[in-house]
Structure 1
């Protein structure tokens, strides 16, 4: 379910050409990054129970303010951060098939998502995030960034339990 009132759109209009293929690719971002760089790494930033961003609760089917499991990582190509990834899972999902997410550490979530045929992916949604959005601020804490960043998100379902994955593309994505 997309909520255009929250700024998330089904199609990335006015995307810069350099980002168009990165954002619109429906395959594994991890695999795509690995094919574009000599070394790929996942750097865990934050994991644990926290509050989701305001625009995430409805997608996950949980009441606003409910604590959820959040995982934030940087994806690095050749030791340069290219993507800030933010994943959100309702607590019930930890018992509903997603329990391995808490043990990923520096392993890629994408590899798990695209290797399990039971996992269904919902359509991608796109948004330009600016400094008033929590995802922009989280990405900006990791490195200096432009005044806005493009992001995409999608819900993955396993045993009817949703996992929301948002990827914020950092300026260096143009040169992996």
Structure 2
């Protein structure tokens, strides 16, 4: 039977040895990323130390930043002159002009504009939204993207945190991007 002092000394010795057993080179943290889960990188919005994404329905991985969510839509007015859609985490949701089936944003576009995907759950909306407008489309990779009033919904990788709307009114190589109103329409680009 160990005495309390022996048990404490054993625990301290084990902790000390655990700290000395780190054989990584000094710059190894730079090689593997910061494991505290803080955002790193560029517009791609990857998270260091994050678990790999779950495979999509057909076994392929979804695009970076396009992990499936709970599919719950909400409404925010933070930072805007009118109400607009957000996901359950408070991220602003956008639509791409003339994109009705998700084919307007593929490949490199998905890094900047991750689609709002759902897994095995049906998407839903808060009481401030019209339930009949919430739906999904099947993307080319077999994943289910949330739609509102037929508009496929995307997040913007440069929006860091809730209430950010940097993607509203953006015109890039894929087209014009807009916030979506609770009425299911694009918010006018000048309404900020």
> TM-score scaled to structure 2, two decimals?
0.25
TM-score of the two chains, using structure 1 as the length reference: 0.27
Q: Rg: which structure is higher?
A: 2
Counting helix residues as a fraction of each chain, which structure ranks higher?
A: 1
Q: Counting strand residues as a fraction of each chain, which structure ranks higher?
A: 1
Larger RCO, structures 1/2 (Cα 8 Å, 6+ apart): 1
